[in-house]
Structure 1
Amino acid sequence: MKIPAQTAVNAADLTRTLRRMKVPVDMTPADVMVPGNWANVFSKVFVDDEVIVWPEDRAWRLHLLVVEVGVGFVKTAVLHSLELHARAAPAAEPADIPDVPAGYKVNHAPKTGWRVLTEDPVMEVSRNHKSRLEATLAAITHAAKASGLAA
């Protein structure tokens, strides 16, 4: 049986907002499904919104339906899940990474890779290091130069 042609369909009642959200590489689909992990964005989504979520490396993609929103949480249901490509196993960090010198910070940012920052004032010393070890060694070298110990 077909739906009758004269059936009224109110477009406003049948529309959903489609939101797109890129998450950090280290998040997994299981992390996205934890309601409390949406604490920073709960005010931006509403019940019946659809959200497409993918990591920065596009290893997977989730199509979610928002089923409940509360202060600091969002419950979702999976409409579609897709594994796009297998991730390479992360390189094992050596256990004996030296300590970062006082006044320096080593962190990872998606666009700059591992980078070295000074803490006061906050300035970027170097970027695009391939590992935490490489960035830490760069911080040690810079600290030695800055304190006048290096030749």
Structure 2
Amino acid sequence: MTDAPALLQRRFALAEYTRAVYFATVEQHITLENVLQPGFWQHVASQLKPYDEIIVANDDCSWRAQLLVADVWHQGCRVVELSRVDMTAEDEGGNDVADDLRVKWRGPVHRWCVVRTDGVIMRGGLENKNTALENLAAIAQERAAVGN
């Protein structure tokens, strides 16, 4: 019988004790390629250590990525992409009150919003989708009243 290697107890711990998990929300114009650059993390590098994980999503909810911190120094860090999810989806409906307005989730900063097709937020920070749809209807009504 051979002596197979075995994991020692002192090398086994809850993940919460050995690494931190962060969530970063980036502006709509930031790409995943930007996020993978070491200098992108310069303002928060002092908070990071190897094996920390960072979940990154952008404001327009078109993508989400999970990153692993591989190395850290005073002006940045090297991150490795663990996963990437494309979150773009077709319009689910309910936005047919106004042709140029849509209700969209714009991340934890802006929350539910009424957005013009050019990306401008007309009303933001709304608590839920139903409230956003009510705001969309109100904006459409205001426009109709002004147009008459």
User: So what's the TM-score if we normalise by structure 2?
Assistant: 0.51
- For the structure 1 residues 39 and 5, does the alpha-carbon distance in structure 2 shift closer, same or farther, using more than 3 Å as the test? closer
- For the structure 1 residues 6 and 29, does the alpha-carbon distance in structure 2 shift closer, same or farther, using more than 3 Å as the test? closer
- For the structure 1 residues 84 and 7, does the alpha-carbon distance in structure 2 shift closer, same or farther, using more than 3 Å as the test? same
CA drift at 1:74: 1.0
Amino acid at match of 1:10: F
- Between the two proteins, the alignment pairs up a number of residues equal to 94
CA drift at 1:15: 3.4
RMSD: 3.5
Q: What is residue 66 of structure 2 aligned with on the other side?
A: 63
Is 1:72 the counterpart of 2:75 in the alignment?
yes
User: Mapping of 1:84-99 within 5 angstroms?
Assistant: 84-85=87-88
C-alpha distance in 2, partners of 1:76/1:51?
A: 9
Is 1:22 the counterpart of 2:25 in the alignment?
yes
Q: What is residue 13 of structure 2 aligned with on the other side?
A: 11
Structure 2 residue matching 1:11: 3-state secondary structure? coil
For structure 1, the 5+ residue unaligned runs are: 88-109, 112-127, 131-151
Is 1:32 the counterpart of 2:62 in the alignment?
no
C-alpha distance in 2, partners of 1:72/1:82?
A: 28
For structure 2, the 5+ residue unaligned runs are: 91-108, 111-120, 124-148
Q: Which has the larger radius of gyration?
A: 1
C-alpha distance in 2, partners of 1:64/1:21?
A: 11
CA drift at 1:10: 2.5
Is 1:52 the counterpart of 2:55 in the alignment?
yes
User: So what's the TM-score if we normalise by structure 1?
Assistant: 0.50
Name the structure where helix makes up a greater proportion of residues.
2
C-alpha distance in 2, partners of 1:7/1:36?
A: 37
CA drift at 1:11: 0.9
* Superposition misfits of 4+ residues, deviation over 4 angstroms: 3-7
